[in-house]
Amino acid sequence: MKKIFLLAIFALLFSANAFAHQAFTLVSSENKTIKAADLQALEKNQTNGKKDKANLSFTEKEIRLVVTTGPEDDMLSYRIQGVRNANLIVPAGATLKVLFVNSDVDMRHDVRFGHVVGEFPIAPEIAETAGSRKLTARSEDGILQAEEMVIKATGTGAYKYFCSVRGHAKGGMWGNILVGVAPGADLKTAEKQVHVHSADEDEDHPHDESQTAKPHDDKKTAEPTGKKPEEKHETNQQHEHKTETADAKTSAAKPVAAGNEHANHNQNTAGMSHAQNGGENSSMRSVVNIGDPMTRESSGTAWVPESSPMHAYMKMYADGGMLMLHGNMFFRYTSIGSTRDVSVGGKGSRSRFDAPSMFMAMYSRPLTENSQFGFRAMVSLDPIIERGYGYPLLYQSGELFHGEPIHDRQHPHDFISELAATYSYKFDEKSSAFVYAGITGEPALGPPTFMHRVSGMNNPDAPLSHHWQDATHITHGVVTVGYVYDKVKFEASAFNGTEPDENRWAFDKPRLNSYSGRLSFNPTKDWAFQISHGYLRNPERAEPDIKIMRRTTASAVYNKKLSSDRNFAGSFVWGQNYAHGERTNSYLLEADFQFKKNSIFGRGESIEKSGHELVLDHPDDHDVFRVGMLSLGYVREIYRGKGLDFGLGAQATFNRNPEALVPYYGGTNHRGFQVFLRVRSSATNH
């Protein structure tokens, strides 16, 4: 009954996530041309909203609006019923009949409605938005390009409408649209900014890092009748306007009810820093540290490159609170080579149907302008699916099952893999400090855990070097303090250095018997470096003779967003264990290249393992052997973008051991394979 109940919980988690990102649907659209003299008459036919400073509130389910671009002295803005970048407050399920008119004399504009994460990039993605095409500027005879659209609000929450032309949203051409929720007291409108009209501004940049590959909702629109006016683009004229703060402030209202809204990731609330240079939208803050961007956050308190794609569902609350949910699961068949009996305690063969999994929830809430509380929880269904003896993985070792050491299998993770709270304080824009404390958590030791690295996310297997590099990602009892200055972080941890026991459902007794330190450096948005050292007491239950182990690691993690539908990620990790006067080293190199709906990934490892770790017979149990592995895989996305991604994949594995191990493994070279269905949270736009 317990297993059925837990499975039902995760089924509900995924189903609630399934349609999270498409907040608006384009029902129909029609391109039009109108005369400037007729615009005033068209505006009289709008559904009048109740005005309260920058707010326009509507109670009707069907709302007719005329949205125009701003005047020449405020070109990067919208006007709706005379309000600049109005906050549109509409009922849940509302249908918007929008006539969008570009009244600008020399620039293209559009209007898009949807979910936006973080600051607006130079060229915002529009793949999960609904709206108009990019309309050309007015012609010399005063003809205005327009588009009449019917847009259905399918989500409930706080969203944005914005111009996706290069640089326009970043320059302040955006507003808020709240569906079925009230505006918070700190909701802001975009500020009026200096704008210099550049020569390439109105041109499409298909290879821009933030430009989407989907130009218009995959829907066909009617072409304007008659001759299309030529697009006028004056490259030698500059438009400069003084920056001024919008005088429209929103009225306070009750916070949005939890569970009833989607994320408003640009809302300027306490705990979310507002950019000082030109009023750029605020960015999401890390749950661990208010001074870090969310895109740096990884497992425990580790950092990844800020350009790393995020696969998660988020909610923002009007009080500044943020909830993030994400996870993955691999439904697969896996088989490994060799002739060795890889069972433990009479359980497990070299082939198996299984489903490694991880699900995570993170919540943060600002306490003051400069301080924040955070909470992190991670669970796994391994105790149900993998059971105590885990899945076959040649040369893998570590932990116990029925009192026997596990070999050539990956042990299951605990059901509660992380349960930790954080407090952070920001001294200024560059310096901050945090405390991370967990009943179960991850100390400051090693790189980001394998399942949280983009380079390894498509690989269902744990690395063979796991217990040299990031095995302490589940430890029962941890306290970490950290200080961040700009791109550098130093942190120190006290934690339980003993690996978890066989009971995967219960908490072990928290102890702080070990310690570690880590130095992290992110020189650019594409790189994350760390070096760390730990002093672990009684680390291996399978090796009680080891009283003290010293672990040292170093890693370089890279991510590069090549375009809206291409991303490359790579990681190099070195880890060393030192115990009983003996040093053993591990090396890992992994990469993932994602292009459109395809991903190619691979991992190579070389590890020094003792005969005792490989559970060999007594004559060989103190010798050290170098074993290696190379895996190559491919995933094809069969469904993505609606809250969950489904990908079909396969992986081939090649293992090699020295001749001294032939009596155990039946040869020096071994092959394995697996096929899988990967289910994970959809990527957010950032």
Q: What one-character-per-residue DSSP string does 532-555 give?
A: EEEEEES--TT-TT--EEEEEEEE
Tens digits of per-residue pLDDT, 338-354?
999 999 989 999 999 99
Average pLDDT over residues 627-650: 93
Is 162 in contact with 169 (CB distance < 8 Å)? yes
**pLDDT confidence of 283, banded at 50, 70, 90?**
low
pLDDT at 181: 87
The more confident residue out of 205 and 547 is 547
pLDDT at 391: 97
φ, ψ of residue 451 in degrees (nearest 5): -75, -10
Is 194 in contact with 278 (CB distance < 8 Å)? yes
For residue 638, pLDDT beyond 60: yes
For residue 327, pLDDT beyond 60: yes
Quick one: tokens of 346? 């009479």
Q: Which three-class secondary structure state does DSSP give residue 223?
A: coil
Is 681 in contact with 17 (CB distance < 8 Å)? yes
What is the distance between the alpha carbons of residues 586 and 607, in angstroms, rounded to a whole number? 4
How many contiguous H segments (helices) and E segments (strands) does the chain have?
5, 33
Average pLDDT over residues 37-46: 89
**Rounded to 5 degrees, what angle do the CA atoms 322, 327, 330 make?**
175
**Rounded to 5 degrees, what angle do the CA atoms 81, 27, 30 make?**
70
**pLDDT confidence of 21, banded at 50, 70, 90?**
low
For residue 278, pLDDT beyond 70: no
SS (H, E, C) 596-639: CCEEEEEEEEEEEEECCCCCCCHHHCCCEEEEEEEEEEEEEEEE
φ, ψ of residue 455 in degrees (nearest 5): -65, -20
Tens digits of per-residue pLDDT, 378-395?
999 999 999 999 999 999
φ, ψ of residue 581 in degrees (nearest 5): 75, 10
Is 324 in contact with 312 (CB distance < 8 Å)? yes
pLDDT at 288: 97
Give me the CATH code for the 294-577+586-592+674-681 domain, please: 2.40.160
φ, ψ of residue 649 in degrees (nearest 5): -145, 170
Please report, to the nearest 10 degrees, the dihedral formed by the alpha carbons of residues 135, 137, 138, 144 taken in order.
10
Is 26 in contact with 147 (CB distance < 8 Å)? no
pLDDT at 3: 53
CA dihedral over 137, 140, 141, 142, signed as positive or negative: positive
**pLDDT confidence of 123, banded at 50, 70, 90?**
confident
For residue 272, pLDDT beyond 60: no
What is the distance between the alpha carbons of residues 442 and 477, in angstroms, rounded to a whole number? 9
The more confident residue out of 489 and 138 is 489
What is the distance between the alpha carbons of residues 120 and 311, in angstroms, rounded to a whole number? 18
Average pLDDT over residues 474-488: 97
Tens digits of per-residue pLDDT, 105-121?
888 999 999 988 767 88
Tens digits of per-residue pLDDT, 213-241?
343 443 333 333 333 333 333 333 333 33
**pLDDT confidence of 657, banded at 50, 70, 90?**
very high
Of residues 135, 145, 144, the one with CA closest to residue 111: 135
Q: Give the length of the chain.
A: 686
pLDDT at 268: 35
Q: How much of the chain exceeds pLDDT 90, in percent?
A: 65
pLDDT at 198: 54
**pLDDT confidence of 202, banded at 50, 70, 90?**
low
Tens digits of per-residue pLDDT, 501-523?
999 999 999 999 999 999 999 99
Average pLDDT over residues 667-674: 97
For residue 374, pLDDT beyond 90: yes
Cβ-count burial of 501 within 10 angstroms (0-12 exposed, 13-18 middle, 19+ buried)?
Answer: middle
**pLDDT confidence of 277, banded at 50, 70, 90?**
very low
Give how far Cα 541 sits from Cα of 79, 221, 370, 498, 553, Å.
68, 66, 43, 7, 22
pLDDT at 203: 56
| Cβ density class 570-589: b for 16+ within 10 Å, e for less | bbbbbbbbebeeeebbbbbb
CA dihedral over 252, 258, 260, 266, signed as positive or negative: positive
Tens digits of per-residue pLDDT, 596-625?
999 999 999 999 999 988 999 877 777 899
| Mean per-residue pLDDT over the chain, rounded | 84
Any idea what DSSP says for residue 243? -
